[in-house]
Structure 1
Amino acid sequence: MSASLDHVPAAKSALVLFSGGQDSSVCLAWALTHFERVETIGFDYGQRHAIEMTTRTTVLEKFREVFPLAATRLGEDHVCDLRGFGAVAESSLTRETEIVMTERGLPSSFVPGRNLVFFVYAAAVADRRGLDHLVGGMCETDFSGYPDCRNETLQAMQTVLQLGVERPFEIHTPLMWIDKAQTWAMSLELGGQPLVDLILEETTTCYKGERGERHPWGYGCGECPACQLRKTGFEHFIENAQPAER
């Protein structure tokens, strides 16, 4: 961390759960406009799209290059090895199986308790680093039914962390009530076309980690739920951005 960030108080400091995907990149941009000191944390849980562990580093570098706020406010990046958890919580995200709906009404890509585990580790790092705010890209609008993305779940998690760590943690979810088209619009509002371009070119959202073909909405297989949400959201974003016909 640069010396200029050493003395930023905890109340003005945040830790962003950062995968290097579209949502976490928008959340990083949001955090940089709301806090004076921002650090990031990533999780290696044996995900099929392990390429995100590489691309997230590239995205962070691009943030520092392109955005003045990032150059002055973006601090250390942390990576946690959660492969043991990934092996226990098997899903289509941690093994080569088709993504389908299960008997529980949840997609097989659901990793039980993943976001809860993420926040526990993030809280431990944040406590050590002196950061009172935790930022995540969870969303109820486009959340595929994942119960650990619900606002109610994360509000309860905030209370658990405040009690369990005895620190005034606050969990922020800037995307909670917006859809993917609005997420694209938020990226334009926060960072202009440079942020939209960065997300299109550098971020990885695809559950299969495909980066072979560049689509209008970015890279991905175009078939998994994450790609479908990103693709549809981008198309609606472009439609809404077009000037109305007279």
Structure 2
Amino acid sequence: MSAISQPTPTSALVLFSGGQDSATCLAWALERFVRVETVGFDYGQRHSVEMQARLDVREGMKRALPQFADRLGPDHVVDLTGYGKIAESALTAERAIEMDERGLPTTFVPGRNLVFLTCAAALADRRGLEVLVGGMCETDYSGYPDCRRDTIEAMARALSLGLDKPVIIETPLMALTKAETWALAERIGGKALVDLIVEDSHTCYLGDRATRFGWGYGCGKCPACELRANGYGEWVARP
């Protein structure tokens, strides 16, 4: 007996921080799904520029990808400030960015992606959205264990059991380097999308929006800036 084919999903909820990776994932989702919504999380980040970047990139996406503008639906913000207080890190408190005794960077927020995915799955269930899209990546993952493929696959399994229905988590950047992420953005939206990511997305851990580099705004020294800068350099130097 042949298996019953499942209908192709037509809607998605993008976990959207306003950074380079989530901006690229939003463009990826808009290219594939006819209905796309976004969700952001206020977990007490030290720098509010991230929350503003979300709005700027979302609005700019309509101009960068006008052919998909009508696919972009509502944005949602979840208040997780209580969680941020118990999962204190260098992203939520005045702490040095360094390696801790476990060999993890102090920018690691314990369980952050697990909490984000749980909240996103609940929202998607109530909104009737079929796929979760996240920018997790184990190639350039900064040492965060909750960005690894095994973690995401286990989370999809747990959510499917807990919600008693299939929960699909798409991670289009999982196996890509930062250079390949820049290339993906260029393929989807050309110069307009790349320019939007450079000008309006925010990745810097220190919240620097005063210093402008070729790859965008940032301090140029924190791990997030170094990763983004190195990837951009590799991308522009490609044959």
Please state which band the TM-score falls in when normalised by the shorter chain: over 0.9
Residues 49, 206 of structure 1: 8 Å contact kept: no
**In the alignment, which residue of structure 1 is the partner of 2:4?**
none
Q: Name which of 187, 191, 201 aligns with 1:189.
A: 187
Residues 32, 69 of structure 1: 8 Å contact kept: no
| Correspondences of 1:9-88 after superposition (within 5 Å) | 11-88=9-86
Residues 33, 69 of structure 1: 8 Å contact kept: no
**In the alignment, which residue of structure 1 is the partner of 2:211?**
213
Task: Return the letter of the residue paired with 1:96.
Answer: E
Structure 2 spans left out of the alignment, 5+ residues: 1-6
**In the alignment, which residue of structure 2 is the partner of 1:5?**
none
**In the alignment, which residue of structure 2 is the partner of 1:162?**
160
Using the alignment, how far apart are the partners of 1:124 and 1:204 within structure 2? 27
Once the two structures are superposed, residues 172-198 of structure 1 have per-residue CA deviations (whole angstroms, 9 ceiling, x without a partner) of 000000110111111101110100000
Task: Return the letter of the residue paired with 1:103.
Answer: E
Q: Name which of 172, 182, 192 aligns with 1:174.
A: 172
Using the alignment, how far apart are the partners of 1:106 and 1:66 within structure 2? 37
* Structure 1 residue 161, shift from structure 2 partner: 0.9
Structure 1 spans left out of the alignment, 5+ residues: 1-8
**In the alignment, which residue of structure 1 is the partner of 2:123?**
125
**In the alignment, which residue of structure 2 is the partner of 1:224?**
222
Using the alignment, how far apart are the partners of 1:70 and 1:202 within structure 2? 19
SS in structure 1 opposite 2:224?
helix
| Correspondences of 1:233-244 after superposition (within 5 Å) | 233-240=231-238, 242=239
Matched, 1:204 2:202: yes
Residues 127, 167 of structure 1: 8 Å contact kept: no
* Structure 1 residue 10, shift from structure 2 partner: 9.1
**In the alignment, which residue of structure 1 is the partner of 2:106?**
108
Matched, 1:151 2:149: yes
Using the alignment, how far apart are the partners of 2:223 and 2:234 within structure 1? 17
Task: Return the letter of the residue paired with 2:174.
Answer: M
* Structure 1 residue 40, shift from structure 2 partner: 0.2
Note the aligned Cα RMSD (angstroms): 1.2
User: What is the TM-score normalised by the length of structure 2?
Assistant: 0.95
* Structure 1 residue 168, shift from structure 2 partner: 1.8
Residues 179, 231 of structure 2: 8 Å contact kept: yes
Once the two structures are superposed, residues 5-24 of structure 1 have per-residue CA deviations (whole angstroms, 9 ceiling, x without a partner) of xxxx9931100000010000
**In the alignment, which residue of structure 1 is the partner of 2:133?**
135
**In the alignment, which residue of structure 2 is the partner of 1:91?**
89
